[in-house]
């Protein structure tokens, strides 16, 4: 039986005059993600994108898994395709949905007729198919309000489509339509979730990770790569930039009050990230900070971090509880990687008593003892970069 995939586009339908750009980008993203799995013809009509396989050996489970991770899709479904003839339609519905019909108690048929020349009207199509299914499955009764399974019959220009369930899409808007941002990624739970949330709003990402060898191990970098791989399975390829941070951390430790260590380190991260972001045509910085989670994420601490950069800093997790963040990290499959025990540069030098209410003037004063520009330039000259594909 020939199968296809029907994709319902999401928020893009609200885009008015720009809609075509969004749709084109979505189709490009779909093509890129599914092309390793086989050849498809792709049609775009009436807010539905149809994927028609050109060969028989395509694994539809794999295709659906890929589709479920593409932003800009509200819902999608697999459908059987058959001739527009009532006896064929009925038999196809019985055969295609056999397993689910056999194990359900109630059903309902819904029909749509975009080919207005088709001899029967929608209610009549539903009634005929329903009657046939009742005849063939004595385990089933009709329930129009809350059925176990809805059989949808669509009469299109060339063929009829029959489908049994609609699967939720990833939502959001197509990646690549919303500019580019640089995400500061640690090996923790939060920053991969923050990356996911910003990619969901259509933004391409560059990832920046600060590493402090030999205090941090190569395995910590490997972990970040794995995290980025998971995020990029929802996004486009992501460039991962590793910044050497050892010297800066040692200098802060040596020259600044211990209680201000973290906040000054954060300000260095912001400054260096800003330079990298600008070199990569990014418009904003993203962090995984959540208000009050740790000493460096109090409102006073964030008010000391932000002035280190002139770029907008987005913190998509700012109002979320840890358990809400964990829920998303499990969904996007980053949680199990994030909890691997390799140390992050933040934890290596963490002071015992960080200031929870730092004052900006005191932070700036403490920092002024360091050779800011020299340290930043040196770190930037020694960054390493690689492209990660999901």
Residues that bind Mg ion (CB under 5 A): 186, 188, 344
Provide the Cα torsion 196, 200, 201, 204; round to 10°: 70
329 binds, among ligand ATP, Mg ion, none (CB under 5 to 8 A by kind): none
Treating both helix axes as pointing N-terminal to C-terminal, what angle do 372-381 and 261-279 enclose, rounded to 10 degrees?
Answer: 50
Q: Which is closer to Mg ion, CB of 188 or CB of 202?
A: 188
Count helices and strands (H / E) in the chain.
15, 15
Shortest reach from residue 290's CB to Mg ion, in Å? 11
Nearest CB to ligand ATP, comparing residues 7 and 181: 181
Show contacts with ligand ATP in window 244-273 (CB under 6 A): 269
| 188 lines the binding site for ligand ATP (CB under 6 A) | yes
- Token pair of 197, please? 């949330």
Residues 6+ apart with CB under 8 A from 381: none
Please state the closest distance from residue 191 (CB atom) to Mg ion, in A: 7
Which of positions 276-295 make contact with ligand ATP (CB under 6 A)? Answer: 287-289, 293-294
Q: How far is the CB of 44 from ligand ATP (least distance, A)?
A: 37
Of the pair 29, 334, the CB lying nearest ligand ATP is at 334
Please tell me whether residue 185 binds ligand ATP under the rule CB under 6 A.
yes
What are the residue ranges of helices labelled H in the chain? 19-34, 60-67, 86-96, 98-103, 122-136, 190-200, 218-232, 246-255, 261-279, 299-305, 322-331, 335-338, 345-348, 360-367, 372-381
Q: Measured in whole angstroms, how far is the alpha carbon of residue 365 from the centre of its chain? A: 41
Q: Which C-beta is closer to Mg ion: that of 106 or that of 350?
A: 350
> In whole angstroms, how close is the CB of 230 to Mg ion at the nearest point?
17
CA separation, residue 66 to residues 5, 60, 230, 234, 324 (Å): 12, 10, 12, 9, 24
Q: How far is the CB of 186 from ligand ATP (least distance, A)?
A: 3
Q: What are residue 200's phi and psi, to 5 degrees?
A: -60, -25
Give how far Cα 362 sits from Cα of 263, 297, 375, Å.
Answer: 11, 18, 20
Give min distance, CB of 320 to Mg ion, in A: 15
Query: Least distance from C-beta 191 to ligand ATP, angstroms?
Result: 3
- Residue 210 as a binder of ligand ATP (CB under 6 A): the answer is yes
Q: Report the distance separating Cα 218 and Cα 50, nearest Å.
A: 44
Nearer to ligand ATP, 25 or 266 (CB): 266
Give the pairing type, strands 106-113 and 73-82. Answer: unpaired
Closer Cβ to ligand ATP, 256 or 265, answer by number:
265
Applying CB under 6 A, among 104, 232, 296, 298 the residue interacting with ligand ATP is 296
Q: Report the residue number, 37 or 318, with the smaller CB distance to Mg ion.
A: 318
* Number of amino acids touching ligand ATP (CB under 6 A): 20
- Residue 190's CB: how many other CB atoms inside 10 A? 26
**What is the CA 93 to chain-centroid distance, rounded?**
34
Binding ligand ATP by CB under 6 A: which of 29, 186, 249, 309? Answer: 186
Q: 224, 209 in Cβ contact below 8 A?
A: yes
Nearest residue to Mg ion by CB is 188
Question: Does 358 help bind ligand ATP (rule: CB under 6 A)?
Answer: no
Considering the rule CB under 6 A, would residue 128 count as an interface residue with ligand ATP? Answer: no
Residue 6 pairs in a beta bridge with: 50, 77
Of positions 189, 263, 270, 304, contacts ligand ATP by CB under 6 A: 189
> Does residue 370 interact with ligand ATP by CB under 6 A?
no
What residues have CB less than 8 Å from 50, skipping those under 6 apart?
Answer: 4, 5, 6, 7, 42, 43, 44
Binding site for ligand ATP (CB under 6 A): 184-186, 188-191, 208-210, 269, 287-289, 293-294, 296, 344-346
């Amino acid at each position: 039986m020939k199968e296809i995939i029907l994709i319902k586009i999401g928020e893009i339908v609200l885009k008015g005059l720009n809609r075509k750009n969004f749709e084109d980008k979505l189709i490009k993203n779909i093509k890129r993600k599914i092309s390793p799995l086989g050849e498809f013809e792709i049609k775009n009509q009436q807010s539905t994108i149809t994927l028609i396989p050109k060969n028989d050996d395509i694994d539809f489970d794999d295709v659906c898994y890929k589709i479920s991770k593409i932003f800009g899709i509200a819902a999608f479904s697999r459908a059987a395709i058959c001739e527009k003839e009532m006896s064929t339609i009925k038999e196809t519905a019985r055969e295609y949905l056999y397993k689910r019909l056999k194990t359900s108690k109630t059903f309902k048929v819904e029909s749509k007729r975009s080919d207005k020349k088709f001899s029967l009207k929608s209610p009549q199509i539903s009634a005929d198919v329903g009657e046939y299914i009742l005849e063939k499955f004595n385990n089933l009764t009709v329930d129009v309000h809350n059925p176990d399974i809805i059989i949808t019959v669509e009469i299109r220009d060339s063929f009829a489509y029959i489908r049994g369930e609609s699967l939720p899409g990833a939502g959001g808007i197509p990646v690549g339509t919303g500019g580019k941002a640089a995400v500061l990624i640690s090996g923790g739970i939060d920053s991969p979730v923050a990356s996911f949330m910003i990619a969901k709003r259509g933004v391409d990402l560059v990832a920046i990770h600060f590493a402090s060898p030999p205090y941090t191990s190569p395995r910590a970098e490997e972990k970040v790569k794995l995290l980025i791989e998971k995020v990029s399975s929802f996004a486009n390829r992501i460039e991962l930039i590793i910044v050497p941070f050892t010297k800066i951390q040692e200098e802060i430790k040596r020259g600044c009050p211990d209680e201000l260590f973290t906040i000054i380190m954060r300000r260095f991260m912001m400054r260096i990230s800003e330079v990298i972001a600008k070199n990569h045509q990014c418009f904003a910085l993203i962090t995984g900070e959540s208000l009050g989670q740790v000493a460096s994420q109090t409102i006073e601490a964030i008010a000391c971090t932000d002035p280190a950069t002139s770029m907008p800093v987005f913190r998509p997790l700012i109002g979320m509880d840890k358990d809400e963040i964990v829920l998303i990290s499990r969904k996007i499959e980053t949680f199990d990687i994030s909890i691997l025990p390799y140390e992050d540069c933040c934890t290596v030098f963490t002071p015992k008593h960080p200031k929870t209410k730092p004052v900006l003037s005191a932070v700036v004063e403490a920092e002024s003892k360091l050779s800011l520009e020299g340290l930043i330039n040196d770190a930037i000259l020694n960054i390493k970069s690689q492209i990660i594909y999901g």
